[in-house]
Structure 1
Amino acid sequence: MTYSTFMLLFLMGVCGAQGASHLRICAFNLHNFGESKTKKPEVMETLVRIISRCDVSLLQEVRDQKQQALKRLLDQLNRYAGANAYSALESERLGRSDSYQEQYVFLYRTRRVTVIDQYQYPDTRPGRVDAFSREPFIVRFRAPTSAIKDFVLIPQHTSPTNATEEIDALYDVLQDIKKKWKTENVMLLGDFNADCSYLPKKNRKNVRLLTDPNLFWFIGDDADTTVRASTSCAYDRIVVNGQQFARATVSASAKAFNFQEEYHMTEDMALDVSDHYPVEILLKAAASTQHEVCFSLLLILLTLIFTHT
């Protein structure tokens, strides 16, 4: 192998590695995640494998009363992915009933994203009723290597009995946060219970989050985000505000991640992990100066090779 050929192969490899750096955002209802699940090694191993695929993960149904389960998950995740690879940002405990409360938790890869700001949406606003069982815990991220370098994630786990009203109320949250932080780059995600009997088709015309043409639902009604074979519902969703943000997503990357199939699990084994599949989407990598330099060097090297052959 000549030196020129070696350099050509090396530069092609470098360029290829740089071009693959999309940002994966995930939302996962962990179904009653607490101390009992941390005592099941096979469940924790599966959770770590799933979460380590993502650069940002929204976790829901975190019911960590002793404040130890999340720490154990983060510790195990960082042992798997590398020391201090992930950080956690968690909401307060949310819920109308003292006997049932949850937290929203964001786990994010620190070398890819940083937190700019956070905001716990209040349970009541002047002139409004208490719209949510679990108010959104909203986080603004910076991602220097992403095509969208500054974006907001609005999480929501709706109450199944009030899904239609809560999904509609998310529209108000979206408008409030766009005004508060002066940004259009907003994504709403989580277990919306946005299908089957919880969101009847007759109700959809009254849901502003569905009727606004500037909002793009990237997990369609034909998706199945549930583990049980007896159900097929698109409960978990990803919604992007605005064409600019929508164009920054990788085509056809939004999907439910079927970990049962991917990791060759029985249904019972999968249900020990959760009764939901996580949903995910990829944001395109930024077109950086490094890519331009790499491409220029490739052209120069190709010219030299052909000139001297």
Structure 2
Amino acid sequence: MKITLLGTGDAPGTPVIGCGCPACRDAAAGGKSRRTRFSVLAENDYTNAAGETVHGRILIDTSPDMRIQLLKQKLTPRDVLNPDGNISPSVIDGIVWTHPHLDHFGGFGEFYRVQYRLDVYGIPETVDSIGRVFHYLSAVKHYQEFGKSFSLIGLDFTLFEVHHDPIEKPAGVIISDGIRKIVISGDTDTKIPEESLALMADPDLFIVDAIVPKDPKFVNIKKHLNADEAAELAAKIRSKKTYFTHLSHYYPPHDEASSIFPLAWDGLSFEFDRRYLSPVPSLMLLFDADVWFRRLVLLFDVAVWCCCLVLLFGAAVWCCCLV
């Protein structure tokens, strides 16, 4: 299973049009402060109904920047059978929407004349609201309920309710491969229902809304978490690893801010392999960094087992000598 943060910015993105603040200047120069709007890509190799091993992809939200985000991923399409009996290329197996704010669904129209079959998942109010905007796309709607898991590409997805006025029934998302648990908070403030907090508990990875640092100048942003609130929530649900997302240009430039806050950045990827969680920046993937990491882990495991065998053999020889 692989999770890629395609976009880690807030609604305006960074750089903000017409802004010359330090973060926007860093973003304009190509630094990690450059943030597109929020979206997450979940990928997994699984066995389909025909018994074939295929590579599946699910999008969490469709950012207005989705086209450029997906082009950067260099996704390889595969042929799928449509309901009308025709074969057409597909790059995405499904879309899970968290809520109907433009920065989370505005890129859905980019699938026009690109992918015929579009399966969308979410709370009915969210799916129908977005469907009315993109009525010209042939989306297949799959209504979901809070707290009830559904399976896609060999992974379990669960929506949980958060609080994001004035949106009706906004959602966060839990993704699990049966061993690892990833929680994506979605857009939220601190008023998350207790039932949701119970569902969110003990994640291996927590991707959490943290739109601004704690600063009296920014207390007006009430419908999102600030950095302190995000950290408190991570501690409350006992997160093993946390990254802040949905970040505004009110943070200092990324390299400076990341020494204080666990900031995510566009293209940050996580690969889940055996017992280990490895954050792999997209640039490192070009050099197969995670492949080498897995080889080192395997080598370490082999070395440990060899040591155990040597000790057992030595103990057996010693016992024989005593006899």
Q: Same fold per TM (> 0.5)?
A: no
TM-score under structure 2 length normalisation: 0.37
Q: Which has the higher helix share?
A: 1
TM-score under structure 1 length normalisation: 0.38
**Greater RCO (Cα-Cα under 8 Å, separation 6 or more):** 1
